[in-house]
Every structure is written in C-alpha cells, then in structure tokens.
C-alpha cells in the first residue's frame, strides 16, 4: 500500500496578499514605536523640568537667610544672579515685595520667586514663600509648566 501526498505550493497571489498584510502590520507597529518614543521624550522633559524647579527650591531652603536673594548657578562661590523686585524681566510688578530671578537650561526656563510679608523688608519677615515655575515647549509647541512651592522661616526673626 502506498501513500501519496499532494505537494502543491503557494500561488503568487497568496504570497502577495501575505506580504501586504505583513507590511500593514509592520507599519502599524513602527507607528506605535514612534508615538511611544515621542511620549517618552515628553515625559523626560517634564521630569527634567520638575527636577530643575525642585532643585531651585532646595537651594533656597538650604542657604543662609542673608544670601536668600543671591544665586550661585554654577556653584563656584560667586553669585551670578540677584533676585529683584524691579518689575523687569520675569518680575511682574515693581515694589510688590515679590523678588524674582530666572534661568534657562536645555530648553527649560525656570523662574523662582521669594515673597515676604507685605510692607516689611525681607530680613524683618518671619517667613517667606518660595515658588519655582519650570516651563518648556512640548512636541506640539504648547507651553507646559511645572509649579512647586515651599515656605521658609527666618531663623533670626524676633517678633510677634
């Protein structure tokens, strides 16, 4: 008794249809990889903005009270930035008791402010509010912002 197998191959049309389906699936996969890469880059930029804003708050919380309005951005012991309340640059209004400074790094702009008690000089304030806002442009060109804030007490304050 002998057994015969039929050994027909695939036709050209079947191979072409299979290649077309595989190509469409591959294009969909590549599109998903591209979208994922964009979201990862955006997430990295957002994380970096948050880190820069938090770092600025930590610096302001850790320095001496007398140096609160000075910023040593390159850590060489010489202040490069002096916070101002003059209504210019990032400072919104002159004389409002909110001192402002800022810097830009890797496409992220960080603006930080120190606000003391109204109508008191900063060295006579019992505490200050410190805020930092890091802003950047996303892939669509829209401005995104990260806001962080803290309070700091004046260790030399003697008053009511």
Instruction: Assess if residue 129 is contained within a domain.
Output: yes
Please give the Cα distance from 118 to 125 (Å, whole number). 9
pLDDT in tens, 108-135: 999 999 998 777 777 778 889 999 999 9
pLDDT in tens, 3-34: 666 667 678 888 889 999 999 989 988 888 88
pTM of the full predicted structure? 0.70
Q: What total of structural domains would you count in the chain?
A: 1
What residue numbers bound the domain in which 33 lies?
12-153
Q: Which helix (H) or strand (E) holds 13?
A: helix 12-62
Instruction: Assess if residue 7 is contained within a domain.
Output: no
Please give the Cα distance from 140 to 126 (Å, whole number). 44
Instruction: Assess if residue 18 is contained within a domain.
Output: yes
Residue 89 has pLDDT above 90, yes or no: no
Instruction: Assess if residue 56 is contained within a domain.
Output: yes
């Amino acid at each position: 008794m002998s057994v015969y197998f039929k050994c027909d191959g695939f036709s050209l049309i079947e191979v072409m249809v299979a290649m077309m389906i595989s190509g469409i699936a591959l294009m969909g996969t590549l599109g998903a990889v591209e979208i994922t890469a964009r979201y990862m880059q955006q997430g990295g930029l957002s994380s970096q903005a948050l880190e820069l804003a938090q770092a600025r708050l930590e610096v302001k919380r850790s320095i001496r009270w007398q140096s609160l309005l000075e910023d040593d951005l390159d850590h060489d012991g010489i202040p490069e930035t002096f916070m101002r309340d003059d209504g210019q640059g990032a400072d919104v209004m002159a004389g409002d008791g909110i001192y402002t400074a800022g810097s830009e790094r890797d496409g992220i702009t960080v603006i930080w402010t120190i606000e003391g008690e109204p109508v008191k000089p900063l060295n006579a304030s019992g505490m200050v509010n410190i805020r930092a806002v890091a802003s950047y442009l996303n892939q669509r060109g829209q401005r995104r912002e990260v806001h962080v804030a803290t309070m700091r007490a004046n260790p030399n304050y003697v008053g009511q």
